[in-house]
Structure 1
Amino acid sequence: MSRAPAMKCPHCRANAWARTSRELSPLLREIYYQCSDVECGHTWVATLEASRTLSPSAKANPAISKTLPSSQWIPTLSTAPKPVLKGGTDDQPSLFDESASR
Structure 2
Amino acid sequence: MGASFKDLVVWQRAVQLCSEIYRLTASFPGSEQFGLTYQMRRASVSIASNIAEGYGRSTRGEYRQFLGNARGSNCESQTQLIIANSLGFGAKSAHELTEKLSADVSRMLIH
**TM category, shorter:** under 0.3
Larger helix percent: 2
Larger strand percent: 1
Q: Which has the larger radius of gyration?
A: 1
Q: Which has the higher contact order (CA 8 A, sep 6+)?
A: 2
Q: Could you tell me the TM-score, scaled by structure 1's length?
A: 0.24
Q: Could you tell me the TM-score, scaled by structure 2's length?
A: 0.23
